[in-house]
Amino acid sequence: MNERFSSMLLEKAVSEFAKLPGVGRKTAMRLVLHLLRQDTAAVEAFGNAIVTLKHEVRYCKVCHNISDTETCRICANPQRDASVVCVVEDIRAAMAVEATQQFRGVYHVLGGVISPMDGIGPGDLQIESLVLRVAAGGIKEVILALSTTMEGDTTNFYIYRKLEKMGVKLSAISRGISIGDELEYVDEITLGRSILNRTPFMGGVGS
């Protein structure tokens, strides 16, 4: 035990916080002392929130997103279009798409991307369940919304090969210049692709 700590309970709490990614011991100390200044109910709310989440969290049996119930709120929502499935890497990607408020379909969370370097193959991901989901019928379009990395591209291609003969429309999120970017600062690959993949100009702003 470190003599710097006058309290073992404090040392234990700081050690636990310092295990979090990107949190060093000084930051951990600052966070723990901050919580210690809050009232007991607030500290209990903090501690219980993460423990309860861990105990009670489930994964949606349809889309594999994190859920409180057997079927997640998005899959269970009758106002969402269950015939359009957006394939994402993880829950954070699903949340990023939700935040745009541009998508009213449903999701399929793969749980990662194919990455031989990290020992992640198709069998480690929810790809087979996507194929079964499409095979079960009712799905018109599958939108591939993975990261624009080599691993994302590999996974896109793998899924494409699995689904191409199943009579479902396959699309991928568009790649190009970010809104607000100045052309001279865009990297050559993105700019080159955005010229090749140019879209008809409809006369509107941002179209």
Give the binding site for a second copy (CB under 8 A): 3-10, 12-13, 15-17, 19-23, 27, 29-36, 40, 43-57, 60, 65-68, 72-74, 90-92, 94-95, 98-99
Q: Which residues are 172's β-sheet partners?
A: 144
- Distance of closest approach, residue 63 Cβ to a second copy, in angstroms: 8
Is the CB of 79 or the CB of 199 nearer to a second copy? Answer: 79
Is the CB of 10 or the CB of 191 nearer to a second copy? Answer: 10
Rounded to a whole number of angstroms, the distance between the first and last alpha carbons of the chain is 63
Is the CB of 90 or the CB of 153 nearer to a second copy? Answer: 90
Tell me the backbone φ, ψ of residue 93, rounded to 5 degrees. -65, -40
- Distance of closest approach, residue 77 Cβ to a second copy, in angstroms: 9
- Distance of closest approach, residue 110 Cβ to a second copy, in angstroms: 15
Show the tokens assigned to 189: 């690959």
Is the CB of 62 or the CB of 163 nearer to a second copy? Answer: 62
CA pair distance 107, 71, nearest whole angstrom: 12
CA pair distance 113, 25, nearest whole angstrom: 32
Displacement of CA 96 from its chain's centroid (Å)? 7
- Distance of closest approach, residue 14 Cβ to a second copy, in angstroms: 9
Reduce the DSSP state of residue 59 to 3 states and report it: strand
Residue 73's contacts (CB-CB under 8 Å, 6 or more residues apart) are 67
Asked whether 113 and 89 are in contact (CB, 8 A), the reply is yes
- Distance of closest approach, residue 149 Cβ to a second copy, in angstroms: 18
Alpha helices in the chain (DSSP H): 8-18, 25-37, 40-56, 73-76, 91-100, 128-135, 150-163, 188-196
Is the CB of 20 or the CB of 135 nearer to a second copy? Answer: 20
Is the CB of 47 or the CB of 121 nearer to a second copy? Answer: 47
